[in-house]
Amino acid sequence: MEINTFRNVILILTAWGGAFLAALWLSLVIWTYRDIRQRTRDRLARILAILVVTVLFLPGLVIYWILRPPRTLEDEYQQTLEEEALLQSIEEAVLCPGCGRKVEADWMVCPSCHTKLRKQCHQCQRLLELSWNICPYCATPVIGMRKEEKDL
């Protein structure tokens, strides 16, 4: 009687162990499928990753972890956005035409080389570009311009 009970316990434990391994195997295949979908759009890489884990089980999972792309597609997209924002901020930087150093948008003179960057409107005191003949803020013609330039 004890031998039959012992065999039944072994049989039940084996069934539970087999069911656990089957569930673990299936969950790892599903996890690999979801993970590789977030990391690449390449169908061949997706299929190979799933096959490696499906066929080799735990060693296949280790191989997948070693070979999988390090970043997700979302991470790649975020990094691209950050790089574009950085490039845009660099391109928008105002540089002195005399020395090429970075200057602020509200500076009248470059502090490094003393190049005149802007002029001030005599009516409203706002800063104007050197090439402007009229103030766009108050419509006052710039003092000191020749009469022919004022008529244009």
**Hey, how many other C-beta atoms are within 10 angstroms of the C-beta on 51?**
13
Q: What is the mean pLDDT of residues 8-30?
A: 97
Whether residues 60 and 104 share a domain: the answer is no
Token pair for residue 64? Answer: 């997948």
Residue 140: inside a domain: yes
Whether residues 58 and 117 share a domain: the answer is no
**Which residue did the predictor score with more confidence, 8 or 143?**
8
Whether residues 116 and 62 share a domain: the answer is no
- Whether 90 shows a pLDDT value over 80: the answer reads no
Residue-level length of the chain: 152
Output the CA torsion sign for 98, 104, 109, 111: negative
Closest to 118 (Cα-Cα) out of 137, 100, 139, 132: 132
